[in-house]
C-alpha cells in the first residue's frame, strides 16, 4: 500500500480535488530537486506552432522527456526493470493524494504541462482502459475545474505498460481542448443524452462521446472499443489514446484509434531520424521533441506524415465508424 506516501488533506470538505493536487505540486517543487528543476525548466521550453486547415499543432522542445520518448516498452525490457510506479520504487521525497483507496495522484517529475500529474493504481496491474473506464470518468469529473485526464494504451505511449495509470494536465493546454467545438465533426448519432461524433480531416482522426449520463457514455465507449478491436485486433487491447474532460455538466471523451506505436521517423538513423513517440498529448496537438535538433528541423510535412502514420488509415477508420 501507498499509505505512508499519502499526505493529509487539511480541508477535505471545502477543498476541491483540483486544489488539493495543485497544493501537492506547490509543495513537491519545494521539497523535490528533480521536480523543481524540471518545472522550472518548463518555463523556458521552446514552442513553435504549425497551422493547418482549421486547427494547429504545437511542437515543444522538452529535453526532460527523453526518458519517456525513448522508453523501451517491450516485454523483456519491462520485466528487467523495476516498476517506477510501484510504491516501493518511488523516490523517498515523493508524496501523493489518495483517490478512492484505489489510485494515488502524484506529481509527474518530467512535465509537459505546467501542472502535470501521474495517477497510478495502487496495485501493479497491466495498463487497460476498458475495465478502468469508470475511473477516468470519475477522475475527470472530480478534476473538472482545472484538469483534463488522459490515458495512453500499453503500446501507445505509456512508459509503464505493466502498471495501470492515468495522467492529468491543465485544461486548454492541448489544442484539441479548445479546438473541439470549432473543428469540423460529423455527427454519428445524437440523442438527449448522448452525442457521438468523429472527424475526417484532423490528421489524427478521433471519435468523440459527449454525455451527462455515466451509463450511456460507458456503453458507447464499449461499443467504440469493440469496434476498434474488430478492425485492429491486438494481443492486449486495441490501440488507442483517450482524453477525458468534464464541463457544462457533461463528459467529453475523445478516442484516438491507433495503428502504430511509433512512426518510421523514429527508427531512421542520423539526419533523417526524428525522435517523436506520439501519445495522448501529441495527438491532442502538442508534439514533444526531446532533442533540439529535431525541434529545429521538423517541418509541417513531417508532422503530417508522423500523425497520419500513427493514427489509423482512412479505410480502417471508416470500418471502425461503421461498427459503432
Ligand atoms: Zn508497478
- Give the tens place of pLDDT for each residue, 252-300: 999 999 998 899 888 899 989 998 889 999 999 999 999 999 999 999 9
**Set of cell numbers at residue 72:** 523501451
pLDDT at 70: 75
pLDDT band per the 50, 70, 90 thresholds, residue 235: confident
Is the distance from CB of 220 to CB of 312 less than 8 angstroms? Answer: no
Cα 101 to averaged position of ligand 1 atoms, centre (Å): 16
User: If you ran DSSP here, which 8-state letter would residue 305 be given?
Assistant: H
Cα 29 to averaged position of ligand 1 atoms, centre (Å): 24
Give the integer Cα–Cα distance in Å for 307 and 257. 12
Listed in order, strand segments (DSSP E) in the chain are 46-52, 55-61, 96-99, 103-107, 116-120, 147-152, 165-170, 186-190, 195-198, 207-211, 240-247, 250-257, 286-289
Is the alpha carbon torsion for 37, 43, 45, 51 positive or negative?
A: positive
Of the chain, the percentage scoring pLDDT greater than 90 comes to 80
Is the distance from CB of 156 to CB of 283 less than 8 angstroms? Answer: no
Cα 130 to averaged position of ligand 1 atoms, centre (Å): 19
Is the alpha carbon torsion for 149, 152, 153, 154 positive or negative?
A: negative
Cα 256 to averaged position of ligand 1 atoms, centre (Å): 25
Cα 123 to averaged position of ligand 1 atoms, centre (Å): 7
Cα 76 to averaged position of ligand 1 atoms, centre (Å): 15
Of the chain, the percentage scoring pLDDT greater than 70 comes to 97
Cα 165 to averaged position of ligand 1 atoms, centre (Å): 10
Is the pLDDT reported for residue 12 higher than 70?
Answer: no
pLDDT at 13: 64
Is the distance from CB of 172 to CB of 178 less than 8 angstroms? Answer: yes
Cα 253 to averaged position of ligand 1 atoms, centre (Å): 26
Is the distance from CB of 179 to CB of 173 less than 8 angstroms? Answer: no
Mean pLDDT of all residues belonging to the chain:
93
pLDDT band per the 50, 70, 90 thresholds, residue 108: very high
Give the integer Cα–Cα distance in Å for 260 and 248. 34
Its pTM stands at 0.95
- Give the tens place of pLDDT for each residue, 45-93: 999 999 999 999 999 999 888 877 777 878 888 888 899 999 899 999 9
- Residue 69, SS3 per DSSP: helix
CA dihedral 229, 240, 120, 80 (to 10 degrees): 80
pLDDT at 63: 87
CATH 3.30.428.70: does it fit domain 44-70+124-322? yes
Cα 92 to averaged position of ligand 1 atoms, centre (Å): 16
Q: What is the average pLDDT across 169-187?
A: 97
- Residue 195, SS3 per DSSP: strand
Cα 135 to averaged position of ligand 1 atoms, centre (Å): 18
Lowest-pLDDT choice from 6-15, 84-93, 207-216: 6-15
Cα 261 to averaged position of ligand 1 atoms, centre (Å): 21
User: If you ran DSSP here, which 8-state letter would residue 133 be given?
Assistant: H
- Give the tens place of pLDDT for each residue, 109-166: 999 999 999 999 999 999 999 999 999 999 999 999 999 999 999 999 888 999 999 9
Cα 313 to averaged position of ligand 1 atoms, centre (Å): 34
pLDDT at 197: 98
CA atoms lying within 13 Å on the CB side of residue 298? 30
Cα 319 to averaged position of ligand 1 atoms, centre (Å): 36
Cα 125 to averaged position of ligand 1 atoms, centre (Å): 7
**Set of cell numbers at residue 179:** 479546438
Cα 154 to averaged position of ligand 1 atoms, centre (Å): 13
**Set of cell numbers at residue 272:** 533523417
Among all chains, which residue has been given the C-alpha cell 497551422? 51
Give the integer Cα–Cα distance in Å for 204 and 219. 24
- Ligand 1 is an ion; residues with CB less than 5 A from it: 83, 85-86, 124, 163
Give the integer Cα–Cα distance in Å for 241 and 254. 8
Listed in order, strand segments (DSSP E) in 80-226 are 96-99, 103-107, 116-120, 147-152, 165-170, 186-190, 195-198, 207-211
Amino acid at each position: 500500500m501507498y499509505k505512508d506516501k499519502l499526505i493529509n488533506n487539511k480541508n477535505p470538505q471545502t477543498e476541491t480535488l483540483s486544489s488539493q493536487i495543485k497544493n501537492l505540486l506547490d509543495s513537491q517543487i519545494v521539497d523535490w530537486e528533480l521536480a523543481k528543476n524540471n518545472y522550472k525548466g518548463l518555463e523556458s521550453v521552446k514552442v513553435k506552432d504549425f497551422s493547418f486547415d482549421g486547427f494547429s499543432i504545437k511542437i515543444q522542445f522538452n529535453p526532460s522527456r527523453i526518458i519517456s520518448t525513448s522508453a523501451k516498452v517491450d516485454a523483456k525490457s519491462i520485466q528487467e526493470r523495476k516498476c517506477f510506479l510501484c510504491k516501493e520504487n518511488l523516490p523517498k521525497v515523493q508524496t501523493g493524494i489518495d483517490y478512492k483507496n484505489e489510485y494515488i495522484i502524484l506529481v509527474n517529475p518530467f512535465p509537459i504541462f505546467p501542472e502535470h500529474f501521474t495517477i497510478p493504481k495502487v496495485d501493479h496491474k497491466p495498463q487497460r482502459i476498458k475495465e478502468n473506464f469508470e475511473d477516468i470518468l470519475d477522475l475527470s469529473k472530480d478534476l473538472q475545474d482545472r484538469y483534463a485526464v488522459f490515458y495512453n494504451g500499453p503500446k501507445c505511449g505509456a512508459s509503464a505498460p505493466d502498471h495501470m495509470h492515468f495522467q492529468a494536465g491543465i485544461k486548454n493546454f492541448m489544442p484539441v481542448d479548445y479546438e473541439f467545438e470549432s473543428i469540423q465533426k460529423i455527427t454519428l448519432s445524437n440523442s438527449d443524452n448522448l452525442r457521438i461524433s468523429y472527424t475526417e480531416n484532423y490528421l489524427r482522426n478521433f471519435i468523440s462521446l459527449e454525455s451527462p449520463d455515466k451509463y450511456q457514455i460507458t456503453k458507447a465507449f464499449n461499443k467504440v472499443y469493440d469496434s476498434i478491436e474488430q478492425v485492429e485486433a491486438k494481443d492486449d487491447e486495441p490501440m488507442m489514446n483517450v482524453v477525458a474532460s468534464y464541463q457544462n455538466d457533461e463528459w467529453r471523451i475523445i478516442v484516438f484509434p491507433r495503428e502504430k506505436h511509433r512512426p518510421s521517423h523514429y527508427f531512421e538513423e542520423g539526419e533523417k531520424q526524428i525522435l517523436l513517440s506520439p501519445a495522448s498529448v501529441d495527438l491532442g496537438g502538442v508534439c514533444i521533441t526531446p532533442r533540439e535538433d529535431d525541434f529545429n528541423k521538423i517541418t509541417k510535412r513531417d508532422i503530417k506524415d508522423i500523425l497520419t502514420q500513427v493514427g489509423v488509415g482512412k479505410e480502417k477508420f471508416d470500418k471502425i465508424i461503421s461498427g459503432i
